[in-house]
Chain A
Amino acid sequence: QKEVEQDPGPLSVPEGAIVSLNCTYSNSAFQYFMWYRQYSRKGPELLMYTYSSGNKEDGRFTAQVDKSSKYISLFIRDSQPSDSATYLCAMSGGDSSYKLIFGSGTRLLVRP
């Protein structure tokens, strides 16, 4: 079993839809949770960063962390074609290695 599970998609939605992306994890030591967006042939771009449980909102993006269920989500409101990309969840345990453990990424396609 992988430490972080993420549905690879692809997920296809019409423009304006609300998108829900999710990851589950097995390591209860994880404390820092991130969502990255990666366009084809580009490096990942940090979208959201959350420490421990709770919600965080930034514009059209909302990140949720439920540590009791070991489940994190990213919601995108009013999705746009420019949101079409691969979304990677990542997490770390705050240990001295500072390594990030990534999900496999979900490909999102927003249709005009």
Chain B
Amino acid sequence: GAVVSQHPSWVICKSGTSVKIECRSLDFQATTMFWYRQFPKQSLMLMATSNEGSKATYEQGVEKDKFLINHASLTLSTLTVTSAHPEDSSFYICSARPTSGTDTQYFGPGTRLTVL
């Protein structure tokens, strides 16, 4: 149980294009999902908290117009990187907090984004 999927697992795009990453909780409902970014050999950096049916809460320094988050259902959140640039290349990981049960988060497998 407690499986979170991400799609795509990796993506290469040209500078200036937009990329959408999906995060799904497969066997539980998640009112709250989180988006993280991780650079090589570093820990996870929280980008934003996504709540179903409401606007996302962004961490300080994260551009909300660049990283668009939509949490349309209790099992799906999307992150869209708009007008991507090479510096946006990174490993993006989502997590989902079960609506009922323990106060923890289950992580997706991550999406590796490379912007050329």
Mark A residues whose CB is within 8 Å of B.
32, 34, 36, 41-46, 49, 51, 88, 92, 94, 97-100, 102-105
Contact = CB atoms under 8 A, between A and B. Distances in A.
A99 B110 contact: no
A51 B104 CA distance: 10
B105 interface: yes
A43 B104 contact: no
A46 B6 CA distance: 17
A60 B106 CA distance: 21
Nearest to B106: A46
A43 B107 contact: yes
Interface string B79-116: 00000000000010101010000111111111010000
Nearest to A103: B43
Contacts of B107: 36, 43-46
Interface in B24-55: 32, 34, 42-44, 46, 49
A41 B91 CA distance: 8
A82 to B, nearest CB: 18
Nearest to A6: B43
B49 A98 contact: yes
B32 A41 contact: no
Q: Which 8 A-B pairs have the closest CB atoms?
A: A43-B107, A43-B110, A43-B109, A44-B107, A104-B43, A32-B103, A43-B93, A102-B43
A100 B4 CA distance: 17
A46 B112 CA distance: 21
Given A41-B112, A97-B49, 4 more contacts: A34-B104, A100-B34, A102-B43, A102-B44
Contact of A43 (B2, B32, B43, B108): B108
A46 B109 contact: no
Contacts of A42: 109-110
A36 B106 CA distance: 10
A41 B44 contact: no
Contacts of A51: 102-103
